[in-house]
């Protein structure tokens, strides 16, 4: 049975466009022209998803979302995508706080809308509908609180551990679009295809992405960053969710290593990700950055459990122990990876990741524990069971 989508928008042209686009994809469509009617149809029609405009007669979109969330039973959750012409972050935060699950700014590309609809429908589908279907792949973002904390090292080796040690199908994406290091750290040349080859094609589809992916000797697939900084601007904020959604359907895990900027490109990546791992070390400047990142993420409306802290080089002597770091951040550190700096640097400089060549080393065993915790995480929240503390 086709999923039913409720479109709540007072613009007849938008109603027609959305109805046509959704019906072309096989969805059943119900339309409301004001907020009060939208709320009534939510109760009467029980749609699988709502497309909800912000500026509506009678009840605005924020009020409709709030009333739906207040009326829903404990075991039900209808996904809501807010539609608005406002680009201000405050408006996005307000929508998310009202109960929206996603947010699209008009005008938007129909392909992006459909990708987000499919992702939310799969995420919130009743469990009985998922029987017999392969589980939807998970998207995991790695974000470094500052340069040099080992974010890329952890992302690369976690991807290899998930594949080689746990048997998962994994794609690793270099999301540091201007200055990605995966080519260097994995000993790959500039002649290999990159995400630019995807986004400059007339249409982004799975067949194209498969042609661009690079197979590493470890068995993981790679989507590389552009070979030079000047072509990075060809990858826009609208491209990344489309690419990640395609990869989600192909892999158990898509790991994306992003740079430190919280710009629109990275925020769209974080929107698509199930979990964001913030990689840090125990020093004052890094703790300061982590606090700012946590505050910013909170202001943007992300659920607290979506963000996980990874303390790299946890047993290195910095004068700040784990407990002191947690006190400074006012939250627990979720994962720890031990310090074996020389081994990590040697692996990077040789282009041979330690989980590929020395998985039985102390560092390899610590990283494997992190990968196991990632694999045990609950997909709906990204919250993982606590690890036993690593050697300090």
CATH of residue 156's domain is 3.40.50.300
> Which residue, of 83, 106, 130, is where some domain finishes?
130
Return the pLDDT at 130. 41
**Position with higher pLDDT, 117 vs 346:** 117
Q: Is 155 within a domain? A: yes
Which of 108, 130, 152 corresponds to the end of one domain?
130
Average pLDDT on 198-210 reads 90
Considering the domain boundaries, does residue 54 fall inside one?
A: yes
Question: Is the separation of the CB atoms in 238 and 121 below 8 Å?
Answer: no
CB 339 within 8 A of CB 322: no
CA distance 245 to 227: 23
Residue 145 structure tokens: 């609180």
Helix axes 61-71, 35-45, angle to 10 degrees: 30
% the chain with pLDDT above 70: 89
What's residue 348's pLDDT? 65
Structure tokens at 33: 């022209």
CATH number of the domain where residue 83 is located:
3.40.50.2300
pLDDT digits (tens, 9 = 90+) for 15-30: 999 999 999 888 999 9
Alpha helices (H) in the chain, listed in sequence order: 12-24, 35-45, 61-71, 89-98, 110-123, 127-130, 151-164, 182-185, 195-199, 206-212, 239-248, 264-272, 284-299, 322-329, 341-350, 354-357, 362-376
Average pLDDT of the chain, as a whole number:
85
Residue 236: inside a domain, yes or no?
Answer: yes
388 belongs to a structural domain: no
Closest among 369, 276, 238, 354 to 314, alpha carbons compared: 369
Q: How far apart are CA 116 and CA 121, in angstroms?
A: 9
387, part of any domain = no
Residue 389 forms part of a structural domain: no
Domain hosting residue 347, numbered range: 138-376
Q: Are residues 12 and 154 in the same domain?
A: no
Q: Are residues 197 and 53 in the same domain?
A: no
Both 146 and 119 in a single domain? no
**Mean of pLDDT values over 50-59:** 94
| pLDDT average, residue stretch 227-244 | 91
Q: How much is the average pLDDT of 301-316?
A: 85
Q: What is residue 91's predicted lDDT score, i.e. its pLDDT?
A: 74
Domain match, 154 and 98 both = no
Same domain, 38 and 148: no
Residue pair 241/266 in contact by the 8 Å Cβ criterion: no
Report the domain count for the chain.
Answer: 2
Q: Are residues 80 and 148 in the same domain?
A: no
Establish if 37 belongs to a structural domain.
yes
> Are 199 and 332 in the same domain?
yes
The answer as to whether 384 is a domain residue is no
Q: Which residue, of 130, 154, 170, is where some domain finishes?
A: 130
Residues 294 and 329 reside in one and the same domain: yes
Per-residue pLDDT band for 131 (boundaries 50, 70, 90) equals very low
């Amino acid at each position: 049975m086709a999923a039913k989508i409720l479109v709540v928008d007072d613009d007849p042209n938008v109603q027609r466009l959305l109805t046509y686009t959704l019906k072309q994809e096989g969805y059943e469509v119900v339309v409301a022209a004001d907020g009060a009617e939208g709320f009534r149809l939510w109760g009467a029609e029980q749609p699988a998803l709502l497309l909800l405009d912000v500026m509506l007669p009678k009840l605005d979109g924020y009020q409709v979302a709030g009333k739906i969330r207040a009326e829903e039973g404990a075991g039900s959750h209808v996904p809501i995508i807010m539609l608005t012409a406002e680009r201000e972050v405050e408006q996005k935060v307000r929508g998310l706080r009202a109960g929206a699950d996603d947010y699209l700014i008009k005008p938007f590309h129909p392909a992006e809308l459909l990708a987000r609809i499919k992702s939310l429908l799969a995420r919130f589908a009743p469990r009985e509908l998922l029987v017999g279907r392969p589980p939807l792949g998970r998207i995991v973002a790695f974000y470094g609180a500052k340069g040099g904390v080992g974010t890329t090292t952890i992302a690369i080796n976690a991807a290899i551990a998930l594949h080689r040690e746990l048997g998962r199908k994994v794609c690793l994406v270099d999301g540091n679009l201007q200055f990605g290091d995966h080519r260097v750290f994995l000993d790959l040349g500039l002649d290999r295809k990159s995400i630019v080859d995807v986004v400059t094609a007339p249409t982004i589809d799975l067949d194209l992405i498969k042609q661009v992916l690079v197979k590493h000797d470890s068995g993981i697939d790679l989507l590389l960053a552009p070979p030079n900084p000047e072509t990075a601007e060809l990858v826009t904020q609208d491209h990344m969710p489309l690419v990640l959604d395609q990869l989600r359907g192909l892999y158990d895990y898509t790991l994306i290593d992003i740079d430190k900027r919280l710009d629109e490109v990275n925020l769209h990546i974080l929107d698509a990700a199930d979990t964001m791992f913030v990689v840090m070390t125990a020093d004052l400047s890094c703790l300061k950055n982590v606090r700012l990142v946590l505050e910013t993420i909170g202001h943007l409306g992300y659920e607290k459990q979506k963000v996980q802290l990874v303390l790299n080089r946890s047993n290195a002597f910095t004068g700040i122990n784990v407990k002191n770091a947690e006190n400074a951040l006012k939250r627990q550190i979720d994962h720890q990876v031990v310090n074996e700096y020389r081994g990590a640097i040697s692996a990077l400089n040789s282009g041979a990741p330690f989980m590929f060549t020395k998985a039985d080393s102390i560092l390899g065993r610590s990283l494997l524990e992190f990968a196991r915790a990632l694999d045990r995480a609950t997909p709906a929240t990204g919250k993982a069971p606590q690890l036993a503390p690593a050697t300090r």
